Chains A and B, each alone.
Chain A
Amino acid sequence: MTGVRVAGVGLTEFGEHAGRTGRDLFAEAANVALRDAGVDRERVEQLNYGNFMGALAERQSHQAPLMAEAAGLHCPATRYEEACASAGVAVREAVRAVRAGEVDVAVAGGMERMTNLSTERVTESLAVAADELFEVRAGVTFPGAYALMARRYFDRFGGDQTDLAHVASKNHTHALDNEYAQYQREVSVEETLDAPTVASPLGLFDACPVTDGASALVLVSEAAAQRHDLTAPVAITGTGQGSDRAALQDRETIAETPAARRAATAAYDDAGITADDVAVAEVHDCFTIAEVFALESLGLYEPGEAVGAARRGETTRDGELPVNLSGGLKAKGHPVGATGGSQIAELTRLLRGDHPNSEWVSDAEVGVTHNAGGTVASAVVHVLEVAG
């Protein structure tokens, strides 16, 4: 089995791109990634593309061939949809294709257009990721579902809204110097606590924003990296995926996210590492409480211990285990179908030393990304390592 290197990464700015089409956003990200990699377009043998709500936001399904066209690629193109984990799955399948020896060069990433919809329509569109029969018809919204999880967590393990506000504040601080971030500004713990309630116990500043954006990665086999003399110091050494019952009510527990634990276990086994080896993480903080679930599922904290991690200064940029140095979904933004690719782009930059926050993790050799779909009925975890 051949190893997989990240040869290039590309992102658009995350935020509001009024007047730009989805295909233009993805074309930009792919263009940047190919230039970063120094790989000719003709060598790309496969496009794996993540998108969640294009049929609702742009009345456009069957987006993958369209995105290949927009990016000037001539290869089989497939769209992956796993709600907010769409790009994570797209990357994972590209990694598997390269490892299997089927392709030497793949482009993987995703795109989402969201800000052209009203808040009500975005709320409705995101809710489609939940169980239509048992949840959506019962008035469960996306923030409402995470609120149900947060309440259950607080009841079982303790923790409170102030703990979560520290997660929000931390991730905004991390985004200050990230030129791709939607919010490059501080948000205090007090501001977060004072924000209007969206779904109790979660407020407006516990939630990630509504975002347009795209991400792209050029993934190559180790052999291709050598053959073409590519600079690709970061390897994807582990990939894992987990699934769970769609509706929260049917899960083994609502105070934990077992699908992400399964994904992490598989990814660590695949890479031959343990949680102790992880020095930096980009995790799926669509809501502040989601970062807590992520850290516990990844085995970086025991169940019940991660809620206070930001407040104790452990996951801040100067802490023992910096988490979401990109700003996370919370401050960097969350273009749903692009996020899984964006996390790997950010972690690659952090590890190879060209991220504005690389200085905080200059000794890091191993990092993980955690990308979750819906209320973590889907989860994808990747292990990235500096391969030299």
Chain B
Amino acid sequence: MSDGAPGGDAGYDEWADALAEDGYYLSCPAGHGSLPPRRVCPECGNDSLSEEPLPAAGEVVTFSAVHVAPPDFAEQTPYVTAVVEFGPVRLTGIVRGLDADEVEIGTQVGVDVTRNEATGNRLVVFRPR
């Protein structure tokens, strides 16, 4: 059981905290969406970033059922990794509550933060809705 990555969890906690509760993303005055932690907009460099509510439902953009995994995820195989679009931002996480053959491009999911049982690390997951 490790507790977080060697580099520490400061950045990741900020990211996981942003997704927990109601969830938010960051938006610059030009409307570029980005994910925290973030000091400047990666598109235009503007450092005036506001927290905007993350849409409750997102759409699967792409996915894969992973059969060979690193040690931190080996106990969960096969698991479905997906990239999901929530309005102006896209998130990457693991799909829970659907089998691999039930996931399609376009499947509607919500986002949640849980724990990776193998490591105790916080984990971004998507659930059907």
- Which A residues form the contact surface with B (CB < 8 A)? 119-121, 123-124, 127, 132-135, 137-141, 143-144, 147-149, 151-152, 155, 196-202, 245, 247-250, 254
Contact = CB atoms under 8 A, between A and B. Distances in A.
Contacts of B93: 138
A123 B66 CA distance: 12
A138 B61 contact: no
B61 A250 contact: no
A250 B90 contact: yes
Given A120-B71, A134-B35, A245-B42, A139 B66 contact: yes
A155 B62 contact: yes
A152 B123 contact: no
B20 interface: no
A147 B65 CA distance: 9
Given A123-B70, A137-B123, A139-B73, A149 B62 contact: yes
A121 B83 CA distance: 25
B123 A138 contact: yes
Interface residues of B, number: 38
Contacts of A133: 11-12, 15
B57 interface: no
A200 B15 contact: no
Interface in B36-62: 42, 61-62
Nearest to B77: A139
Contact of B68 (A123, A201, A245, A249): A123
Contacts of B122: 137
A200 B65 contact: yes
Given A137-B5, A148-B81, A200-B100, A120 B74 contact: yes
Contact of A147 (B64, B74, B121): B64
Contacts of A200: 64-65, 67, 100
B120 to A, nearest CB: 12
A149 B81 CA distance: 12
A149 to B, nearest CB: 7
Contacts of B74: 120
Nearest to B5: A132
Interface string B114-129: 0000000111100000
Contacts of B94: 138-139
A232 to B, nearest CB: 43
A123 B90 contact: no
A249 B65 CA distance: 17
Given A148-B63, A155-B105, A139 B100 contact: no
Given A138-B94, A139-B81, A148 B70 contact: no
B68 A151 contact: no
B71 A124 contact: yes
11 contacts: A141-B66, A144-B66, A147-B64, A151-B64, A152-B62, A155-B62, A197-B65, A199-B65, A199-B66, A199-B67, A254-B62
Given A140-B81, A151-B63, A250-B34, 5 more contacts: A120-B71, A139-B76, A147-B64, A245-B42, A250-B42
B64 A144 contact: yes
Contacts of B63: 148, 151
Contact of A199 (B35, B42, B68): B68
Contacts of A247: 92
Contacts of A148: 62-64, 81, 83
Contacts of B34: 250
Given A152-B62, A200-B64, A247-B92, A144 B81 contact: yes
Nearest to A122: B70
A18 B61 CA distance: 42
Contacts of A151: 62-64, 105
